[in-house]
Amino acid sequence: MSAILSVDRISKSFGAVAALQDVSLTLQAGEIRALCGENGAGKSTLVKILMGIERPDTGSIAIDGTSVAIRSPSQAQALGLAQVAQELSVIPSLSVLDNIWLGSAQVPLLHRRRAFRQRAQDALARIGAGHYDLDRQAGTLSIGECQMVEIARLMVRDARVLILDEPTATLSDTEIEAIFAAVRALKAEGRSIIYITHRMGEVFSLCDSVSVFRNGRHIVTKPVDDVDRAGLIEMMLGRSFEDMYLCRQQGATGRPALAVENLGVPGVVHGFSMTVPRGRLVCIAGQVGSGAHTVLRALAGLELATGRVSVDDRPLRLNSAPRARAQGIHFISENRAAEGIFGRMSVADNVIATRLPAASRLGLLSWPRLRREAARLIRDAGVDERRLGSMIGDLSGGNQQKILFGRAIGQTPGVLLMNEPTRGVDVGARAEIYRLMRSFCEQGFGLVMTSTDLEEIVGVADIVLTIYRGRLIGRYEKEAITMNAILTDITHPPALTRNGINEAAAAS
């Protein structure tokens, strides 16, 4: 059987940087192919070539065995290639119907809207979203619903090869299952899917095969059944997987860095209490919408909250981000583009943004001192000093995230709050970020993070707190930290005790 898509010896360079080197692979009809690799491995460049955004320096592409030259996105669309990018392109002010047909070359200036309405409804029905209201404004949809609209958009274009780039990165478990069901429906119709993800569990639960890229080269393609998790990550990294997760610490190291009692955020968080020992990493595990993110935002002064909170036994006045910062609370948002980095500023400006007093005298900034301080911070964060003058938007997601950690380096040990600290970060950068977390623990910080990645939680946390609908469900330490226990609490929690804590967990 001939492949629906063949890439033969494709190479692409940008100046002196070889983004792709002699890459060849094939994709069969009805195949779900995972595309895995660190940021910078070449995945995005290959996708841009397939979509007609970039042209290869050498090599060829064939559809159904016939060589084609893809010179534009409209030509890629005509050939049956389509993409749902990581950054969604749904227009909030347009209806679901208009978003589905947005950008389609099949819509003439004069057209029968009724016919296009029926095709849109049929496309949604085939991926399990037939109940969507076509007249609903897209701005009222959840992120998961927007993903479904984008997939329906590719279907009305009769796309035969669909490229999905991190489609579940910000979704709840229920929404992820809906996306999986839609992808399987596409496969059943004979369509092929290139599925790009940093979540290893998705490769094994959804995909038929996996292609690994590293340093611009196609390393291997194998059936998923012939690969295990550790082996896949080692192929992506090019080195042993043994040090991915560092040994967890056990027990407290003196007085608490953070004590939270009866924290409440109206309508979201109810009576949440915890203690964070110095030198330990506490993970709050819960599904999207559980209140986990809101707990950290409230502690950082970014949500209106009630309750009693103390840092180093000193009361913290809630509802003020400047006061929280002054008392040693550092916050890393799950949305680094909107709430973390200054995208149009340099790496130096970003890492020093919260450290200006360290580079000033009598209220005047010293640019040499600023540069020295910035260089030290990014070096300690594991970012190449040569990137000091680069725009931070040009860095990979992993390096951007390390810059946000760099802002807290060298500060008096306090509390580091992290919402989804490895979201959109490749597996190699994840290992480096985990090491950064441990270095903060060794300095005496108390760390609190949220994560919807169960494997990550089990791998890095010293203490796990589970949360469901804004209420604390369980507390786990040592051997009691298991995927099964956490998953049970955050999806179908056991009966609560009078104080709201799972007694079996509290006894661990």
- Which residues, including other chains, have CB under 8 Å from residue 315's CB and lie 6 or more apart? 308, 309
**Is residue 333 assigned to a domain?**
no
Same domain, 324 and 457: yes
Mean pLDDT of 366-388: 86
Domain that holds residue 254: 243-328+413-508
What are the backbone dihedrals phi and psi of residue 500, each rounded to the nearest 5 degrees, phi first? 85, 5
Question: Look-up: residue for tokens 């996996």?
Answer: 210
For 65-216, list the strands marked E by DSSP. Answer: 66-68, 81-84, 161-165, 192-196, 209-214
Q: What is the pLDDT of residue 498?
A: 38
Same domain, 116 and 229: yes
Q: How far is CA 355 from CA 72, 111, 279, in A?
A: 45, 58, 23
Do β-strands 217-223 and 209-214 pair in parallel, antiparallel, or remain unpaired? Answer: antiparallel
Same domain, 159 and 253: no
Same domain, 366 and 352: yes
How far is it, in rounded angstroms, from Cα 29 to Cα 72? 23
Tens digit of pLDDT for each residue in 380-423?
Answer: 998 988 888 888 988 878 888 999 999 888 888 999 999 999 88
Q: Are 8 and 60 in contact (CB under 8 A)?
A: yes
Edge-to-edge strands, sheet with 329-332: 329-332, 415-419, 446-451, 281-285, 463-468, 471-477
Same domain, 402 and 505: no
Q: What is the mean pLDDT of the chain?
A: 86
Range with lowest mean pLDDT among 26-35, 247-256, 318-327, 418-427: 247-256
Same domain, 80 and 209: yes
**Is residue 335 assigned to a domain?**
no
Mean pLDDT of 421-445: 87
**Is residue 129 assigned to a domain?**
yes
Q: Which residue has the higher pLDDT, 243 or 233?
A: 233
What token pair was written down for 108? 């003439």
Indicate if the pLDDT at residue 497 is higher than 70: no
pLDDT band at residue 455 under the 50/70/90 scheme: confident
Mean pLDDT of 57-85: 92
Q: What is the pLDDT of residue 242?
A: 59
**Is residue 219 assigned to a domain?**
yes
Terminal Cα distance for the chain, rounded: 56
Which of 411, 433, 456 is the C-terminal boundary of a domain? 411
**Structural domain tally of the chain?**
3
Same domain, 164 and 253: no
What are the backbone dihedrals phi and psi of residue 383, each rounded to the nearest 5 degrees, phi first? -110, 140
Mean pLDDT of 479-503: 72
Q: Which residue has the higher pLDDT, 435 or 494?
A: 435
Q: How far is CA 139 from CA 90, 91, 136, 182, in A?
A: 8, 7, 9, 22
Name, of 93-97, 428-432, 463-467, 502-506, the range with top average pLDDT: 463-467
Instruction: State the Cα torsion 426-432-436-442 to the nearest 10°.
Output: 140
- CATH code of the domain covering residue 442: 3.40.50.300
pLDDT band at residue 503 under the 50/70/90 scheme: very low
How far is it, in rounded angstroms, from Cα 77 to Cα 386? 40
Do β-strands 281-285 and 269-277 pair in parallel, antiparallel, or remain unpaired? Answer: unpaired
How far is it, in rounded angstroms, from Cα 194 to Cα 189? 15
Q: Which residue has the higher pLDDT, 119 or 294?
A: 294
What are the backbone dihedrals phi and psi of residue 371, each rounded to the nearest 5 degrees, phi first? -65, -40
**Is residue 485 assigned to a domain?**
yes
Same domain, 20 and 141: yes
- Which residues, including other chains, have CB under 8 Å from residue 470's CB and lie 6 or more apart? 265, 268, 269, 270, 272, 290, 291, 294
pLDDT band at residue 109 under the 50/70/90 scheme: low
Give me the sign of the Cα torsion angle 428, 430, 433, 439.
negative
**Is residue 71 assigned to a domain?**
yes
Same domain, 196 and 103: yes
Which of 237, 262, 295 is the C-terminal boundary of a domain? 237
Tens digit of pLDDT for each residue in 286-307?
Answer: 987 899 999 999 999 999 999 9
Which of 204, 237, 270 is the C-terminal boundary of a domain? 237
Cα Rg of the chain (Å, integer): 24
Q: What is the pLDDT of residue 79?
A: 93
Same domain, 399 and 450: no
Mean pLDDT of 175-186: 88
CA atoms within 13 A on the CB side of 212: 19
Same domain, 390 and 455: no
Same domain, 197 and 209: yes
Name, of 271-275, 373-377, 498-502, the range with top average pLDDT: 271-275
Q: How far is CA 487 from CA 200, 449, 466, 474, 494, in A?
A: 17, 17, 9, 11, 11
